[in-house]
Structure 1
Amino acid sequence: MNKFFLSGLFIYPIKSLGGISLNQATLEEKGLQFDRRWMLVDEEGTFITQRKYFELAMLAVNIVEGRLVISHKTQPDQNISFLLDEDNGKSFPVVIWNDTATAVEVNETVSKWFSDFLKFKVRLVKMPVAEKRMVDPRYASNDEVVSFADGYPCLLIGQSALDGLNEKLKNPVKMDRFRPNFVFTGGIPHIEDSFKTFYIGETLFLAVKPCARCVLITIDQQTGEKGQEPLRTLAGYRTVGKKILFGQNLLHQHLGTICVGNELRVVEWKMEVM
């Protein structure tokens, strides 16, 4: 019997900007601490992502001494930072896909920095702790809530899934294109499709829905350049119902601490596997 172990742990504090690799993270109600708690919005309050603005891939994010630090990957002198708990108290509705949530602006200086970078007016907003953005009720099991992530608190991908994809590609891609929270080792490619309930360490998760992929995975996270891969190759063997699937969206049943090296123990398996 295969054993599975957590080999990667990632958060993406600002939606659609660079991620942070961690050795340990706290799992809160909305997902991993600091994950997708901030987001860029346009003047109408609609979310901004790499799907349209590829250059966002070039912004790295780090947490340093209680501050969120944003810097350009090739021009490190182009940077800005702010306190993790900072906001100017100005709340307003924002739109993420079909959801509307309440957000607060961090401050006008930070918003101007991002506006200058993108060359149009945007605001950087934060999700208040008390805000309740509900998970799609078709998949929720206990009125779960989510941050500014696309739809679910956490995303899981097996390293073998990426390895299997890269064997089919002329130019291998990195895992950062897929923006997982959890990466694990062990098993055949896409074995996570067959997980139903499982533990990572002492925390129970429910795999509720495969992750449908979009143009974002064609953007090189080191250069900000867009191509056709790996979406074109994945379409050839991972298309189900006109959607290209890669990874599993998760709901967590407990709060707690997740660490790289934790064993992933499957409790229930799905009867049908892709």
Structure 2
Amino acid sequence: MLRLSGLYRYPLKSAIAEPLTDIQLDALGVVGDRRWMVVDAQNGRFLTQRALPHMSQLLARHTATGGLTLSAPGFPALDVPLPDPDAMLRGVFIWSDSLYVPDAGDEAAEWLSRFIGKPCRLVHVPAERARYIAGNLSAEQKVGFADGFPLLLIGQASLDDLSARVGRPLEMLRFRPNLVVEGGAAYAEDSWRRIRIGDVEFRVAKGCTRCILTTIDPLTGERSADREPLATLKTYRARDGELYFGQNLINQGGGELKLGMAVEVLE
């Protein structure tokens, strides 16, 4: 039987994952997932581990009042209030999208600039300012600061197979999924089109293309000297010049997911 064996969210884009036993879903995917982002102070472009591997050591957790607590080795924790959704709007760029979102203020910017090592700003995306999903796959569905889709699913058997090919265990968090499913064959998720977990249905939008971020050890922030797992993925998961691992999902409505829930393949 297929079941949920892992649930994760990422309060701040490209920062440390938050493992959870249950999650809520809303119009943007997992509630609180990638609603905050660090951008270059000069040009507004989003910053990630791709160019800044030490972001893997940055911890961000939601506060009870909707804000964010930032912490990192050698840095004092900082509580950042939720910014006014209509004040201090800043133009930001994420991939090909541009949008205006609230800036979290100078104190957060100064803290993050010291950690990042360059001038940057912290921004938040309220639901009403979210962007539409890439490729117009859904006329209504929006997404926050995730790369392109609300959720990412990976089968545990797929990771086990990749680890065996690489020759060492790989951490699931290299791939930054929201949902991990166990009980199926390796890469079974490639053939799914619609699934249901609890009362929530999901549409499988497309395979997830993988990049240099997967070569970063999520615990240490160090890159793999042998460029794994990309080197191995290139031998059997390449298509049209891209490497694929995992599936992007779009949730059809809100609801709750809990670890251990059955996963039903509808199509």
TM-score tier (shorter) = over 0.9
Equivalent residues of 1:41, 1:122 under 8 A apart: yes
For normalisation by structure 1, the TM-score amounts to: 0.91
Structure 2: which amino acid aligns with 1:260? L
Q: Provide the rounded CA distance (Å) in 1 between the counterparts of 2:99 and 2:261.
A: 34
1:8-52 residue CA offsets vs partner (Å, 9 max, x unmatched):
111001111111011111101011111010000112111001100
TM superposition outliers: structure 1 runs of 4+ over 3 Å? 63-67
1:71 aligned residue: 71
Cα deviation, residue 60, structure 1: 2.0
Aligned mate of 1:164, from 134, 138, 161: 161
1:43-100 residue CA offsets vs partner (Å, 9 max, x unmatched):
211100110011101112233544522222xx265432223x3458200211000001
Structure 1: which amino acid aligns with 2:205? V
Q: Provide the rounded CA distance (Å) in 1 between the counterparts of 2:185 and 2:64.
A: 40
Q: Provide the rounded CA distance (Å) in 2 between the counterparts of 1:102 and 1:259.
A: 34
1:233 aligned residue: 232
Q: Name the SS for the 2:122 alignment partner.
A: strand
1:183 aligned residue: 180
Cα root mean square deviation, aligned: 1.5
Q: Provide the rounded CA distance (Å) in 2 between the counterparts of 1:132 and 1:219.
A: 28
1:206 aligned residue: 203
Gaps of 5+ in 1: 269-274
Equivalent residues of 1:9, 1:23 under 8 A apart: yes
1:93-123 residue CA offsets vs partner (Å, 9 max, x unmatched):
1100000111111121011000011121000
Q: Provide the rounded CA distance (Å) in 1 between the counterparts of 2:99 and 2:106.
A: 20
For normalisation by structure 2, the TM-score amounts to: 0.94
Q: Name the SS for the 1:130 alignment partner.
A: helix
Q: Figure out how many residues of one structure are paired with residues of the other and give that number.
A: 262
2:119 aligned residue: 121
1:271 aligned residue: none
Q: Provide the rounded CA distance (Å) in 1 between the counterparts of 2:126 and 2:62.
A: 19
Q: State, as a whole percentage, how many aligned pairs show the same letter.
A: 37
Q: Which moved more, 1:61-70 or 1:107-116?
A: 61-70
Gaps of 5+ in 2: none
Q: Name the SS for the 1:69 alignment partner.
A: strand
Q: Provide the rounded CA distance (Å) in 1 between the counterparts of 2:63 and 2:121.
A: 22
**Is it true that 1:103 corresponds to 2:104 in the alignment?**
no
Structure 1: which amino acid aligns with 2:192? F
Structure 2: which amino acid aligns with 1:245? Y
Structure 2: which amino acid aligns with 1:226? R
Equivalent residues of 1:87, 1:126 under 8 A apart: no
- Report which of the two has the higher share of helix: 2
Q: Provide the rounded CA distance (Å) in 1 between the counterparts of 2:260 and 2:236.
A: 30
Distance 1:260-1:213 versus aligned 2 partners, 3 A rule: same
